[in-house]
Amino acid sequence: MPAVLFAVAVSVPKFLEMKVEYMDGGDDPFIAPTELRLNPTYQLVVSWVSFVLVRLMPFVLVAGLGVAILMLKMGQNRSPKASTGYRLQEDILFVSFPASFSN
C-alpha cells in the first residue's frame, strides 16, 4: 500500500501540467501547458526527482544488495575445506553480472 500511495503522490503533478483549451470561438480543443509546467523551478525539481528515482536509486539498491550478498557468501566460505580462490571469483561474477544490467 505505501508503494501505491508513493506512486500516486509522484504522478499527481503530471496531471496538472497540461490543460485543454479551445480556439477562439471554435470547437477544436487543443492541449496547452499550464504555468506549472512552464515554471523553471518545477522543471528542475521534476528532472532531479526523475533522475534519483529512475536512475540512481535502482543502481544503488542493486549494487548494495549485491555487495551484501557477496559479504554473506564470503562469510560462509570460511570453512577450511573450501577453495576460496575459485569460489570468490564465482561469487564476484554472480554479484557483478546483474549489477551491470541495472542501468
What is the 3-state secondary structure of 57-96?
A: HHHHHHHHHHHHHHHHHHHHCCCCCCCHHHHHHHHHHHHH
Domain check: are 60 and 79 in the same one? yes
Domain check: are 17 and 57 in the same one? no
Domain check: are 28 and 47 in the same one? no
Domain check: are 57 and 71 in the same one? yes
Domain check: are 34 and 54 in the same one? no
Residue 82 has pLDDT above 60, yes or no: no
Q: Calculate mean pLDDT across residues 5-21.
A: 89
Domain check: are 57 and 98 in the same one? yes
Domain check: are 44 and 11 in the same one? no
Q: How many CA atoms within 13 Å lie on the side-chain side of 53? A: 11
Q: pLDDT band at residue 94, thresholds of 50, 70 and 90?
A: low
Domain check: are 63 and 101 in the same one? yes
Number of domains the chain contains: 2
Q: Calculate mean pLDDT across residues 45-52.
A: 92
**pLDDT value for 40:** 95
Whole domain around residue 8: which residue ranges? 1-38
**pLDDT value for 23:** 84
72 φ, ψ (degrees, to nearest 5): -65, -45
pTM metric for this prediction: 0.60
